[in-house]
Structure 1
């Protein structure tokens, strides 16, 4: 299969709808929030695409919202809103999207990455720990889109 990993434009936000849970009202709030974040250059969204359909998304936030430790301009970014179509789970595509995204951001000069993980989500912790998100640096609390409390983990790389 010919999977494409890439960053999308603001005009493509509507195409994320199929990845969002079946709550239309929450989708509309999410869509509105993402469009505003695109306008203010707070986010980028990376996707896995196959035959014109988005199979996964990983949003990158450049501005701290919930915790001041999430981001540092031109140094630290916060991957969030990681979604993968259920029929694609277990195929390694999510990990490929994470790798593609981190590599692209590293090429842009970012050296620190934070990610929020619920304490009881052992599968996510296992995956993120493999990518080097091992240093717990803060504690966060849920919001309207995800009410779960979480630990903020950091990954650091050395500049070449």
Structure 2
């Protein structure tokens, strides 16, 4: 049987289902995930963000989100403009990693954003996540534009390096 993989902007109902999965999969961080779920769905409904999902045979297996309103990203205001989208929330279900599905979703997202008038793309990565840094560099995110911190809902503070692709 041939697998059917589609890339799309998620509906609020799909988001609800995916976020419930993340909350269940991350019991030690449950409160953060509950907060992030509310923010993600609110962002989608208000037009602040666009959640992109990769769906294989009806199952959500990967996701990425584009934040398209720079005024709502206080850590990035100084490196964003109206043509810059901040990309984040990259996740792939472990059983499907390394098979190219996320790369297909990422390409779909960039093409959709370009059609919407975005010409620059920004993402953040923790400095110790060297594997992710290598992946992002391969995708063209090589210009380090800023280093800073990000605070999770529970107060955890992480260091973040921000990379730009034009």
**Does residue 124 of structure 1 match 2:140?**
no
Q: Where do 1:1-160 residues align within 5 Å?
A: 1-17=3-19, 18-19=21-22, 21-23=25-27, 24-64=30-70, 65=73, 66-69=75-78, 71-73=80-82, 75-144=83-152, 147-156=157-166
Q: CA deviation at 1:58?
A: 0.2
- For 2:101 and 2:6, how far apart are their aligned partners in 1? 11
User: 2: CA distance between counterparts of 1:78 and 1:25?
Assistant: 24
Aligned residue for 2:141, secondary structure, equals coil
Shift of 1:140: 2.4
Q: Which runs of 4+ in 1 moved over 3 A?
A: none
Q: Per the alignment, do residues 122 and 147 of structure 1 end up closer, same or farther by CA in structure 2, a change over 3 Å counting?
A: same
TM-score for both structures, normalised by structure 1 = 0.87
Q: 1:102-125 deviations in whole A, cap 9, x for unaligned?
A: 111112221100010111212111
- Give the aligned length: 155
TM-score where L is the length of structure 2: 0.84
Q: 3-state DSSP class of the match of 2:151?
A: coil
Does the 8 Å CA contact 1:19/1:85 hold for their aligned counterparts?
Answer: no
> What is the aligned-residue RMSD (CA, Å)?
1.8
Deviates more, 1:79-88 or 1:138-147: 138-147
